[in-house]
Amino acid sequence: MRRIDELKEELRQAIIDSDEYREYRKLEEYMCTHPDLKRAVDELRRQNFELQYADEVGDVLSATEEMNRRMADVRMQPLVERYLSAEMCLCRMVQDICLSVVDAIDFNMDFLQ
């Protein structure tokens, strides 16, 4: 377990040192200095999350288009798009790390099907 703890620390540090994380943190700090914009972006993120994980959305494409139409003024701002893009890059990196670990081990998850 000691070796695993060492590797976790190395991985944690590698993520913190990554360009993806640094870009995300820089833009997150900017958002925090603009509370109204941060609230609007967080509302967009919340709605997007709910849309993706709702059990009964019906026409997801139409619902997504409607959400984007309602939030167009927020999304049109270049720093907002950069922030959302940086967040997505960071999430994909973490997701890729998790998937590579899960794929490498023989861990029965058939109960999820």
Residue 80, Cβ density class (10 Å: 0-12 exposed, 13-18 middle, ≥19 buried)? buried
Look at residue 110 in the predicted model and tell me its pLDDT.
Answer: 86
Domains in the chain (CATH in brackets) are 2-104 (1.20.1500)
Kindly report whether the global pTM for this prediction surpasses the value 0.85: no
pLDDT tens profile 55-82: 776 777 788 888 888 888 998 999 999 9
Look at residue 64 in the predicted model and tell me its pLDDT.
Answer: 83
Task: Give CA torsion, residues 27, 29, 33, 36, to 10 deg.
Answer: 60
Residue 48, Cβ density class (10 Å: 0-12 exposed, 13-18 middle, ≥19 buried)? middle
Closest CA to 40 of 86, 71, 79: 71
Count the Cβ atoms, other than its own, within 10 Å of residue 37.
17
pLDDT tens profile 84-110: 999 999 999 999 999 999 889 887 878
Terminal Cα distance for the chain, rounded: 31
